[in-house]
Amino acid sequence: MKNVLVIYWSHDGRTARIARRICEVIGAEGHRATMMHVIEADREGVDLAKYDILVFGCAIRYGEYHKSFVNYVNKNKALIDSKPNSMFSISAIARNPEKATVEGNVYARKFMENNPWKPHEMVCFGGKVDYPNCNPIDGFLIRLIMTMTKGPTDPHSVNDFTKWEDVEAYARHCLTLK
């Protein structure tokens, strides 16, 4: 039985939901999975050494990964690198198949090129645009981004771009990491 830790950063709950689904699939496969928000992992501490596989997840917010996530993985780079590890990235642009790869996703590519910690592998999942639950400024900015990227702009729409079957396949794949 493998012991997997999923550390994530989530702004509005989408990345947490994906992390939870990854843990559910790993559990259903007969292994043990624990999820923890990166702020909790950083402030309260977590013994990364006791896990067999480390999985990290972070959403893109206005073109950036959250600084608490980036700081955490860089601060713990040596220990993370000593374990099988993977990272999943969430963004609305990954709704398009050509942007759902590291090579096609400018944010994931920049992370892999410029960040001191480099995950052993990275995948990109589409996120969610929930206009009714956005504050007015976020709603306006997201509609502007969606206009530029030819995405949905109806301020009353909820758009789930996550392909859950891909999330489940990724969870099973993480169990094969060595």
**pLDDT tens digits, 137-173:** 989 998 998 898 899 999 999 999 999 999 999 999 9
What was the pLDDT predicted at 87?
98
All CATH 3.40.50.360 domain ranges in the chain, comma separated: 3-127+162-174
Ramachandran quadrant class, 63 (left: phi over 0; alpha: psi -120 to 50; beta: rest): left
Distance from C-alpha of 95 to C-alpha of 89, rounded to nearest angstrom: 12
92-120 tens-digit pLDDT:
989 999 999 999 999 999 999 999 999 99
pTM to 2 decimal places:
0.94
Torsion of CA 154, 13, 101, 30, to 10 degrees: -140
- How confident is the model at residue 7, as a pLDDT? 98
CATH superfamily, domain 3-127+162-174, is Flavodoxin domain (3.40.50.360)
The mean pLDDT value of the chain amounts to 96
Confidence of residue 63 (pLDDT cuts 50, 70, 90): confident
- Checking if the pLDDT of 12 tops 90, the result is no
104: Cβ–Cβ under 8 A, 6 or more apart, which residues? 98
Mean pLDDT of 73-89: 98
pLDDT band (50, 70, 90) for residue 36? very high
Structure tokens at 2: 């493998």
